[in-house]
Amino acid sequence: MGLCSELFVADDNKGTNEVKATTPTLYIFGDSTFDVGTNNFLNTKTKANSPYFGIDFSHSFPTGRFSNGLNTADQIARQFGLKKSPPPFLDLEKLQYSFKHNIMVGVNFASGGSGILRYTGYKQSGEVIYLEKQVQQFELVSGNITEILGPANASTFLSKALFLISVGTNDIFDYERNESGVFHLGKEENLAVLQLNYYSYIRKLYDLGARKFGILNVPPIGCYPAVTCNNGGKCVKPLNDFAVAFNKATQTLLQKLSFELEEFEYSLANTYAMFNTMLKYPLAFGLNDTKSACCGVGKLNGEGPCLKTLNEKHCEIGKFNGDDSLLKSLNDKLWGIGKLYIEREALCIKVLNTNICDNHDDHLFWDWLNLTQRASKLIANMLFEGGDHFVFPNNFRDLVSSFHFDNNHP
């Protein structure tokens, strides 16, 4: 049964079987922060459709979310009264009989390991859906909506939708690994290339009808377990500095777009500040461990992925630079993010010595690069309730509150 067949329009915690009157249609783009199963359909090494992913999901089913349960896309959707994120585009596309109906409810295009640049994630993951291709997929969706509603009504419909984007982390990681395709550029030049492309894709979404954007910036990725496990548990400043520079440039980009484009509105989520606040005051958020991953291998559970076994598509993961030791410590010269690759497709299943914490809810990180279900909920709460220190110029709740939603076709 496809993911799109699962109902996602009710929030059990809110005690209602109806979508809230202020619920916008959600179109979601980005990386593993938002991916709810896109990569299940790809020939990629970056997948989350096997244990221990999804251990706290319904029936402990690994859905393709890089989490123990719901991820940040789901938690944002729940803030709007939905049960979870809309399904992946690649899932909806398989069911042509219901495709046109389902795209009116929302679509998730996000792909784990992807980035702004088309080369991002290729060496690490193989096939991913990079941002440009995600926008192209939405172009197909937009065309179908226009066919269903007509140009004028489609324009009104899309102007009331919320477009969520979380991207940039993998571009920075790949640059530091010299895997971005533009590694010969300096950091300032690379940043300029990233922002030029980011601008063009957001502008393309605007041209296709998008008007309201919820953008998540890059967290302090130098503090991720995959990085700190090879730095004595300490954050790596150059990575965090790059994230800060990217985030400042993104804010300038969005301000530029808001001046240039009529009816363009945005909320920029300062996830960097949110993470830093949780790192500094963990107990205030009910967190006991903000350094190690709940699930993984080695120091801080940051030396290997949260997988129960490696099957034939993961056999060579953990072989770094010709070294045959499985899941060796990542190369500190690459800021702790090693080069994972497959050189041959041997048929094998290896049982890993994976650690998993007892209390999933008191950890910030689920695995070496992704959040726990509860941490994602904390982020979503700040997106909706936070002041301008966390979300600028308005939080997500205020971003959509100016529109009247009747949840029917215009």
Lowest mean pLDDT among 19-23, 61-65, 243-247: 19-23
10 Å CB burial of residue 299 (0-12, 13-18, 19+) is middle
* Half-sphere exposure of residue 217: CA atoms within 13 angstroms, side-chain side: 31
If DSSP codes are grouped into helix, strand and coil, which group holds residue 309?
strand
| Mean pLDDT calculated for residue range 57-67 | 94
| Mean pLDDT calculated for residue range 287-314 | 87
Query: Long-range contacts for 230-233 (Cβ within 8 Å, ≥24 apart)?
Result: 230/299, 230/302, 230/329, 230/330, 230/331, 230/332, 230/336, 231/332, 231/336, 233/291, 233/299, 233/300
pLDDT of residue 366: 98
Widest distance between CA atoms in the chain: 60
Please check the confidence at residue 245 and state whether its pLDDT lies above 60: yes
Taking only the tens place, the pLDDT of each residue in 352-389 is 689 999 999 999 999 999 999 999 999 999 999 999 99
Question: Tell me, what amino acid is at 122?
Answer: Y
Q: Would you say how long the chain is, in residues?
A: 410
Taking only the tens place, the pLDDT of each residue in 249-292 is 999 999 999 999 999 999 999 999 999 999 999 999 999 999 99
Residues above pLDDT 90, as percent of the chain: 75
Looking at every residue in the chain, the average pLDDT score rounds to 86
Torsion of CA 363, 366, 368, 370, to 10 degrees: -110
Q: What is d(CA 394, CA 267) in angstroms, rounded to the nearest whole number?
A: 6
Q: What is d(CA 121, CA 18) in angstroms, rounded to the nearest whole number?
A: 39
pLDDT of residue 168: 98
pLDDT of residue 259: 97
Domain ranges within the chain, ordered by starting residue: 26-296+357-400, 310-351
| Mean pLDDT calculated for residue range 16-42 | 84
Lowest mean pLDDT among 3-12, 125-134, 294-303: 3-12
Please check the confidence at residue 213 and state whether its pLDDT lies above 60: yes
pLDDT of residue 203: 98
CB atoms within 10 A of CB 320: 18
10 Å CB burial of residue 96 (0-12, 13-18, 19+) is exposed
Can you read off the two tokens belonging to residue 70? 């719901």
Taking only the tens place, the pLDDT of each residue in 121-166 is 998 899 999 999 999 999 999 999 999 999 999 999 999 999 999 9
Residues above pLDDT 70, as percent of the chain: 81
| Mean pLDDT calculated for residue range 332-350 | 42
Please check the confidence at residue 407 and state whether its pLDDT lies above 60: no
Runs of H (alpha helix) within 110-186: 122-125, 131-149, 151-159, 169-176
Taking only the tens place, the pLDDT of each residue in 65-86 is 999 999 999 999 999 999 999 9
Can you read off the two tokens belonging to residue 399? 């971003």
Handedness of CA 273, 165, 128, 122 (dihedral sign): negative
Beta bridge partners of 309: 351
pTM of the entire structure?
Answer: 0.86
Pairing mode, if any, of strands 265-269 and 212-216? parallel
pLDDT of residue 182: 57
| Mean pLDDT calculated for residue range 100-113 | 97
CATH number for 26-296+357-400 (one of 3.10.50, 1.10.3470, 1.10.10, 3.40.50): it is 3.40.50
